[in-house]
Structure 1
């Protein structure tokens, strides 16, 4: 291995020069033996990291011969196979991000934190999210023996603020929508809080008129997860009676893709000059209305099909709650008669 430093003498004092950069530095000694020991120490220190990497490759190749040549491209192919079909499509789109080209063909064991930071600087918030998943997957598979970036060093994810659609905005959208099927579709989202992809798949089989229940499976949950069930009230009943009696509830609108439905909704919002809302805002709006009216959280979570209480609370965090006055709330307290109170006190004393 080539030495990084060489030594020379000038005016009786020994100096070293970096062979790669040409930078010179005084050893501050006129003793040749001392200067040679300092030169040897500097070359050993410079040679140490490369020597450690070479030794590491030898040990890794003995336990896993493919570890030397395995690149991040292999990890990207692996993550594409995880999850269900919809999740795999999202991973596939994320792995085609041009910001990840900086590490795509780089061996995993030769990657440094600077390489990941370069990807993060060149990418977006989405790059940050999926690169972290890719990094953790490599650690979980044993392809990476240590974290390249500690959790605190990852840039904080900056999510765009989301809000629910208001009743006034919903009424403006439906009042100007000429297509009856789309208008009823928006009304169904308003009444149920279902996601656009779940609502579009509803059929008459999802309506249990005997028990007056509308049920549906959440696409993002496991296939064996319990479906969301919503009692059919007067408004929802009037809405469902306007839909087809057999087959899909939205036969024409269901032929479009999710992107087409989202684009049509955005076009309607631009015409009405409504900003900050999307089809997903109906779920936020439903959660905010449920929270502000004191709807039990466990019912709201089940109706929206959220598998996590934290996720459900995040949907309703922007709700405006008007608290009842304590004076009125105290009137709802039912006082116990004196005899019942004494009996209860005596029973507690026996315990």
Structure 2
């Protein structure tokens, strides 16, 4: 039987392996000829007895984990879903793993997966498939159900997401003007003014409102399971328009009692139907957050305040939200002049000098 590999010794004394088919060299990291011979023989055995190696590996793997050689990707996906505690997260995962692109690996044993299997799953370039396959792969890797990455990190195709944009003021006004349901109308108005996620807005309560300071404070729902000591609430001051809106809502309990009972996906579908009726394309409920961030950037709203309002701790995330905003940078000289003239220069108070007599100002 012809061998695929041979070895040779370089001037440094290190033995190298040569692939006769490709001509590529690889160090054997040894100066011992007998060891180099054994390593070369092992490479040749691996090349000539691939089928036997797989069968032998299954025997060894079964000793460490009886299911390691038979566990399929479908079982991995089901294992992940079963351990999701948040109902909405579990629902999203349940929908995601039904993606027909996963049919290519669904019944494939995890340990027999090769890069070409993953590339077949990712062939149509669907972003959600890419994102969830990465998560599933990383989960299996973390559980040591695979011994190394199936697809190296640098070779994963970059997901190409659809271009996102914020809802324009004209679009928002048209949506509100057409909405006949007062709860939904106020809901859309609140999203425009606060930029909160739809779930955070739907579950706001009257207890979250501080009328004395005219502020609303809430913890983002997706952070609710974290240690309260490590989570900073969003604290937003509101103006006259929002105050009028809040007075229209129930004065106890949930501000939007019906919408709080509706699933996020159904709230999004209802909004999409209204947009379609007005001929508005390319937006969703989440686009109110993009709109808020873009408006904040355009008017020079301090970024730290915008991040506090949107609930993001990462500057990179906030930049992603506002990447479509167009801002004209003002003249620094004019800005500086305006800043200087707007400062209130307070003269130091005139010291009180006690009259002659004593330090306390008493005479005689």
* Aligned mate of 1:116, from 115, 118, 139: 118
- Cα distance in structure 2, aligned partners of 1:122 and 1:314: 25
| Unmatched tracts of structure 1, length 5 or more | 4-42, 336-351
The aligned runs of 1:156-305 (5 Å cut-off) are: 156-223=158-225, 224=228, 225-305=231-311
Q: Contact conserved, 2:125 with 2:160, CA < 8 A, in 1?
A: no
Q: Distance in 1 between matches of 2:339 and 2:179?
A: 47
Contact 1:292 1:321 in 2 (8 A): yes
SS of 1:146 mapped into structure 2: coil
Q: Secondary structure at the match of 2:216?
A: strand
**RMSD of aligned Cα (Å):** 2.3
Looking at structure 2, the residues matched to 97 and 109 of structure 1 have their Cα atoms a distance apart, in angstroms, of: 22
Shift of 1:329: 1.5
Unmatched runs of 5 consecutive residues or more in structure 2: 2-43, 342-364
Q: State yes or no: 1:329 paired with 2:330.
A: no
TM-score under structure 1 normalisation? 0.77
CA gap 1:203/1:333 in 2 versus in 1, 3 angstroms: closer
Instruction: Encode CA deviations 1:52-86: one digit per residue, 9 max, x unaligned.
Output: 32332233223223212222223112221146332
CA distance in structure 1 between the partners assigned to 2:45 and 2:233 by the alignment = 66
Tell me the residue number matched to 2:131.
129
Whole-angstrom CA distance in 2 between matches of 1:292 and 1:176: 27
Aligned partners of 2:165 and 2:330: how far apart in 1? 24
2:134 & 2:186 partners in 1: Cα distance? Answer: 41
Contact 2:127 2:160 in 1 (8 A): yes
For residue 243 of structure 2, give the secondary structure of its aligned residue in structure 1: helix
TM-score by length of 2: 0.75
After TM superposition, the structure 1 = structure 2 runs for residues 73-88 of structure 1, keeping only pairs within 5 Å, are 73-80=74-81, 81-82=83-84, 84-88=86-90
For 2:284 and 2:175, locate their aligned partners in 1 and report how far apart those are by CA, in whole Å: 12
Equivalent residue for 1:71? Answer: 72
Q: Which has the larger share of helix?
A: 1
Residues 270 and 333 (structure 1), Cα distance of their counterparts in 2 relative to 1, 3 Å cut: closer
Q: Does the CA-based 8 Å contact 1:221-1:307 persist in structure 2?
A: no
2-structure distance, mates of 1:271, 1:130: 33
Q: Following TM superposition, by how much is the alpha carbon of 1:261 offset from its aligned partner in structure 2, in angstroms? A: 2.2
1:102-127 CA distance string (max 9 Å, x none):
22222111111122122222673211
CA–CA distance in 2 between the matches of 1:83 and 1:310? 28
1:332/1:118 CA distance change after superposition, 3 Å:
same
Q: 1:271 to 1:47 in 2, by over 3 A?
A: same
Query: How many residues in Structure 1 have an aligned counterpart in Structure 2?
Result: 295
